[in-house]
Structure 1
Amino acid sequence: MMEKFFISAGIFTLISLSSCMNSPSSSNQDKSGQQPAENTNFTTVEVEILNDKAKDILDENIKGTVIADNFIWSEGPLWIDDKELLLFSDVPANVIYQWTPEDGLSEYLKPAGMTTPHEHDKEPGPNGLILNHQGELVICQHGDHALSIMNAPIEAPQVKFKVLANEYQGKRLNSPNDVIIDKQGQYYFTDPDYGLAKAEDKELPFNGVFKIDTSGILELLIDTISHPNGLAFSPDEQNLYIANSNHDSPIIYKYRLDHNGDILDGGVFFDFKPLLDRGPGGPDGFKLDSSGNIYTSGPGGVWIISPEGEPLARLIIENRVSNCALSKDEKTLFVTNTDKVLQIKLKN
């Protein structure tokens, strides 16, 4: 069954699919002279119901709001529920921004991804963000080739970092992209080469997925995914999902984990290849809710996929989606959407 309804009135226009799924277009680069700004305009988000199960997740009277815009490439949204604080990255601008319902938008941390004075002509900034079990901000830093902890309280950010990993077997990491943490306190992160400057030589011969165990040892889990990007655990942490942001192989993989969090086996979970004509974008960042449903960037917006790999719905959003974050009650979805950040009320 398929039906469509609108979150808010307006005109929706599809933009042709770019061959590169996760870097900003030249038109967005041209916006770099504009200052990011708070915005409270409604945006058109058409909801395509692909399965009636989606109605347990989505209300028919939901709406989307552009809460901030004029970014180059927004990424890595992190909603901190007890502080009612949204953090997110503008990767090319080398900035982390903050937004609250009460105070709106402001710069949070700069520089945040490349802290050295070297020139960088691509994507030097921060990307994925999480809080660890100590409440510290963990940042994927493209320009510094590092996964790092901000060495300052969340309420008083400073450009001070403790590096968790920046090399593997004596070779510099590429550009850590997204990160998660399990209940044991082990970090998992992807390391594609999107953030390497054009003048840099790639030192690792692969794009990897890594784990840092509780003793701080860095372990390579996977080196066979061409462009590993977003990743997430199933609610019971028995499975690890990883997105491949490759136009020729736009796949979300699923891997079974043992009790130590190491990979047992796995394979293709969902293939977006037959759906690329639905609009711009592909699998990039994603989140899971407490029922195991996946909210993932995909062609033409955000796709909601069941734990069984069944498409439930699509939030059709103009321009490419990079990532999303759920509120704790799972009623609100924050979406990084090229030069914008959206707040979508899923349920009242």
Structure 2
Amino acid sequence: MTALPPHLQLHDDRFASLVHPMSRLDRIASGLTWTEGPVWIGDHACLLFSDIPSQRILRWSNEDGVTVFRHRSQFTNGNTRDRQGRLISCRHGPRDVVRTEWNGSLTVLAQRHDHARLNSPNDVVVSSDGAIWFTDPTYGILSNFEGYRAPAEQSANHVFRIDPDSGAVKAVVSDFTQPNGLAFSPDETRLYIAESGSSHDASVPSIIRQFDVAGTDLRDAGVFATIDCGLPDGMRVDVDGNLWTSAGDGVHCFAPDGTLLGKILIPETVANLCFGGADGQSLFITASTAVYRVFVEVKGAEPWTRSAQV
């Protein structure tokens, strides 16, 4: 087998089929503050991502490079698309989850639970039934850097589900220190959730937990994987069920059985990632101050986030 370039690190032979030995690590945006929330917009062949402290959602395309999609984004963090292709975003400032309508207006989907304000919604995914699942750690209220310093009003740092019919906001997991990134398996029978509490408490393990999906509820299925450098944040799953997650030294790729297959080494701490590009085989990686792109040999498991009929 051809030797892999320095930014690709093989831990299991299966990783060789997921990357190409000539795959380059391209930095497509730089000079930013703290990038997060990447989502590929296949309809317009562009990537949207957040620069949280700068309160901007930025847009990147091959043709135009980096431009501003939204000013005064209220410390938007995670982004995804719903089944209709509309943008769903987590905002630290108003401590809510919002949907961008086709006319550009914003609809608040969640802002309170049990008559109290949410902490600071962080990351979000949409299941095929239209339900919206999001994490609610306290990062956006711990300081004024990526939100507004404030006391927490929730009884715990929950993971929530928004019902697609009633709009009811339901806590589905409540025993995380700081729940962060989340991603469904391709068949949506399992939900992976990152525990990033080691950011402020070294005694918290840097793990990804897995939950069996039982209708509108989740059942704890134990630890899926442990991150050996830094902590897990945003993550995505490919069509083969492999989980690609952010970490301190780059992106770690785990097989469905939890085996570490390999790493994409990035010179900055990685916050999040997503699949996209014209062929669906570009991995876009948001790191501390830059965004990177790597070609991979597999597509993401969320087809409606890549393209929609508009």
Instruction: Give the whole-Å Cα distance in 2 for the aligned partners of 1:4 and 1:108.
Output: 40
Partner of 2:57: 96
| Alpha-carbon distance, 1:256 to partner | 0.4
Partner Cα distance (1:236, 1:318) in 2: 33
Structure 2 unaligned regions, length at least 5: 144-148, 199-203, 299-310
On the 8 A contact 1:180/1:232 being kept in 2, the answer is yes
Contact 1:148 1:161 in 2 (8 A): yes
- Partner of 1:99, secondary structure, is strand
Match of 2:146 in 1: none
User: Over aligned residue pairs, what C-alpha RMSD do you find?
Assistant: 1.7
1:137 is matched with which residue? 87
Contact 2:158 2:176 in 1 (8 A): yes
Does the 8 A contact of 1:256 with 1:266 survive in 2? yes
Which residue is equivalent to 2:106? Answer: 161
The residue aligned with 2:209 is: 253
Aligned-partner SS, 2:141: coil
The offset of 1:255, in angstroms, is: 0.4
Percentage of identical aligned residues? 35
Q: Which residue of 2 aligns with 1:220?
A: 171
Which of 282, 293, 309 does residue 258 from structure 2 map onto? Answer: 309
Which of 243, 247, 258 pairs up with 1:294? 243
Matched ranges for 1:223-234 at <5 A: 223-234=174-185
Matches of 1:288 and 1:236, distance apart in 2:
11
Cα pair 2:172 2:217 within 8 Å, conserved: yes
Report 1:277-288 matches (<5 A). 281-288=230-237
Alignment of 1:1-348 (within 5 A): 5-6=4-5, 46-112=7-73, 114=74, 125-153=75-103, 158=104, 160-196=105-141, 198=143, 199-214=149-164, 215-247=166-198, 248-258=204-214, 260-272=215-227, 275-276=228-229, 281-327=230-276, 329-347=279-297
One-letter identity of the residue aligned with 2:11: L
Letter in 1 for 2:208: I
Deviation at 1:187, TM superposition (A): 0.4
Following superposition, the deviation at residue 161 of structure 1 comes to 1.5
* CA deviation map 1:164-223 (0-9, x unaligned): 000001100010000001111000000000001544121113111000112211110111
- 1:49–1:313 CA contact under 8 A, matched in 2: yes
Shift of residue 83, structure 1, vs aligned partner: 1.8
Contact 1:172 1:203 (8 Å CA) reproduced:
yes
Instruction: Give the Cα separation in 2 of the matches to 1:330 and 1:261.
Output: 30
1:330 deviation in Å?
Answer: 4.4
User: In the alignment, what sits opposite 1:33?
Assistant: none
- Using the size of structure 2 for normalisation, the TM-score is 0.88
The runs of 5 or more residues in structure 1 that have no matched partner are 7-44, 115-124
Q: Residue 153 of structure 2 aligns to a residue in which SS?
A: coil
Larger Rg: 1
What is the identity, as a one-letter code, of the residue corresponding to 1:228? P
